[in-house]
Amino acid sequence: MEPTSEIVMGSPPDRPQVVKSRQRSRVSNGSALLHGVDGRSPWVRRCKDVINAHIADLGGLDNCSAAERSIVRRAAVLTTELEVLEVRFAKAGEASSLDLETYQRCANSLRRLLEAIGLQRRPRDVTTFGGLIRADQEAERRRLAHAQQSMDEGVE
**Residue 22 belongs to some domain of the structure:** no
Helix (H) or strand (E) holding 5: strand 5-7
C-alpha distances (whole Å) from 155 to each of 145, 149, 150, 151, 152 are 15, 10, 9, 6, 5
pLDDT of 101 reads 97
**Residue 7 belongs to some domain of the structure:** no
pLDDT of residue 12 exceeding 90, the answer is: no
Instruction: Identify the domain containing residue 135 by its residue range.
Output: 128-156
**Residue 54 belongs to some domain of the structure:** yes
Is the pTM above the cut of 0.75?
A: no
Query: Could you tell me if 101 and 145 lie in one domain?
Result: no
Query: Could you tell me if 89 and 134 lie in one domain?
Result: no
Query: Could you tell me if 120 and 133 lie in one domain?
Result: no
| Phi-psi category of residue 130: left, alpha or beta, with phi > 0 → left and psi -120 to 50 → alpha | alpha
Query: Could you tell me if 60 and 109 lie in one domain?
Result: yes
**Residue 112 belongs to some domain of the structure:** yes
d(CA 31, CA 16): 34
pLDDT of 15 reads 55
